Structure 1
Amino acid sequence: MHGLGNDFVVIDARALAFPPMTPAVARALADRRTGIGCDQLVLLEPSAAPEAGHAFRMRIFNSDGSEVEACGNAARAVALLHGEAAVIETGGGPITLEPLDGGARVDMGTPRFDWDAIPLDVPMDTAAMPVGWDSLESPMAVNVGNPHVIFFVDDADAVPLESIGPVIEHDPLFPQRINVNVASLAGPDHLRLRVWERGAGLTRACGTGACASAVAAIRRGLVASPVRVSLPGGDLVIAWEPGGTIQMSGPAKASFRGSFDWDDFA
């Protein structure tokens, strides 16, 4: 499945017994030359808290095998697959899915701004961090289920994100690494965005990156909600009011269904 070209292998283990997922198996399945190939592997499992009304659990593994807390594009794909509104568990907390025609709306929860919620290695103001890398300076940090740092620039396309992205991702300031966003203002309710995704690299789209960047831009007074966020793969619409939850709407599609022999990748 994919959301704006950010693609996933989705394994539905809600009703079938699967061996435990490991970083090595996730890497092997995600390999585009010798595996199935994807940006992220998504594993659906039975809920650990069905008494709380959670329909099931979604786990996300980046192509490098690392497990992450949240993925907005994957959430829309899973909503389409599930076919009805539901509250599901993620590593970043419960989220609400609602399938729409050709896509989904996802309530991504409340953004967090405290330095230790990102987390950062040292205390600092996350609204205008007193740090910089080359020409990228004074970013904002937001946790939207996973951690993001957002730089507002004149032209997002002009930033050499493929070289500076991994440097920032692995900076000791971010003990759990970081997703790197460069955003430019395209209108009073419109952002252009490129994302270096933690553990996956440059992606055509990043749903949590769109959420984090829209929240940061609203918080800085650059745009008004709802915000259209244009990524290389297409557009998402993000709505947020201070104190509230983030609403993300956008497309998702199924590419194909198939099967594989687990032993080939274990």
Structure 2
Amino acid sequence: MSLSFQKYQGLGNDFLLLDNRQQPTLRLSPQEARHWCDRHFGVGADGVIFLLAGTGDCDYQMRMYNADGSVAEMCGNGIRCLAKFIFELEGRTCGETVSYRIDTLAGVMVPHIQADGQVTVDMGTPQLLAQQIPTTLTAPDAKVIEVPLTVADRPWLVTCVSMGNPHCVTFVEDVAAIPLETLGPLFEHHAVFPQRTNTEFVQVLGGDRLRMRVWERGAGMTLACGTGACATVVAAVLTGRLKADAAGQAQATVELPGGDLHIRWDVHSQHLYMTGPAVAVFRGTLDTQ
């Protein structure tokens, strides 16, 4: 059986997108997703995203497997790519603006495609209590802000945020000096994170610029992570490294290896807004058994 797909990337975070609207079950198994994400034996991607028909007041549903076949609740770069995928499926033309309500396992997300092709997503509100992340680093009803955590025989101060998926943020002097391939798996699988975690190493460059490298749960080292960039801005505010303006807006450009994301946190509504690109790479077919 052959399945049509398109490949999209958002700042180098790349995905296989499948139109799954005609059936309620996902058209690939976790094992098949893992195979096709392999960069040597498959197509190569950080994950597989399925577009399903909408339910209730949502236009569509998004479901996703990470590169290792595990389920991802949400992905910031991925939902921007999905929005562009929908835009094309609907036959829309460049310059149009449109918003979609998309059901994800992390709640309803609303991407808005702008006239210039950039996509802004209302990422919802961050969850900050230990039990919501989840982590056992502190009491279940307490926030995890610069709490000590020992990894690789070294103490780290970590701030944890859930964007529908778990994030562990730590601020460092030089992100380029971090041995991400070594430390990333140790953070991801640390016993204090019962559902594993994404990990962001962040360097403050200036008042509104942050540089981030990420180890993604289930995908490893990637060029960008949208939910991670949102978690990073929240962590920067919680630790006093980033200030909100008089209108209650905390904004920053987050530099990732694949490019920049603009993140705005409305401190009053608590909603986070992420703006960045999503680009079609190619289309093809998967020959499944």
The alignment's TM-score, normalised by the length of structure 2, stands at 0.86
Q: Does 1:240 align with 2:255?
A: no
Unpaired stretches in structure 2, ≥5 consecutive residues: 1-7, 88-97, 244-249
Q: Are positions 1:254 and 2:254 aligned together?
A: no
| Aligned partner (choices 190, 214, 230) of residue 171 of structure 1 | 190
Q: Is the 8 A contact 1:136 1:151 kept in 2?
A: no
Structure 2 vs 1, CA of residues 29 and 127 (structure 1 numbering), >3 Å: closer, same or farther?
Answer: same
What's the secondary structure of 1:237's corresponding residue? strand
SS of residue in 2 equivalent to 1:215: helix
What percent of counterpart residues are identical? 42
Matched letter for residue 119 of structure 2: A
Matched, 1:76 2:72: no
- Structure with greater proportional strand content: 2
Give the TM-score normalised by structure 1. Answer: 0.93
- Tell me the SS of whatever aligns to 1:139: strand
Please give the alpha-carbon distance, in whole angstroms, between the structure 1 residues aligned to 2:23 and 2:188.
36
Which position in structure 1 is the counterpart of 2:133? 118
Local SS of the residue matching 1:9: strand
1:63 aligns with 2:67: yes
**Matching residue of 1:187:** 206
Encode CA deviations 1:164-216: one digit per residue, 9 max, x unaligned.
11011001110000001000101101100000000111111111110100111
Counterparts of 1:193-208 in structure 2 under 5 Å?
193-208=212-227
- Residues 1:131 and 2:156 aligned together: no
**Is the CA contact (8 Å cut-off) linking 1:237 and 1:250 kept in structure 2?**
yes
Instruction: Say which is worse superposed, 126-135 or 183-192, in terms of deviation.
Output: 126-135
Distance 1:261 1:19 in 2: 16
* Structure 1 CA distance for aligned equivalents of residues 24 and 283 of structure 2: 19
Gaps of at least 5 residues in structure 1 are: none
Matched-pair contact (CA < 8 Å) for 1:129–1:138: yes
Q: Distance in 2 between matches of 1:6 and 1:135?
A: 30
Pair 1:189–1:135, CA change in 2 (3 A): farther
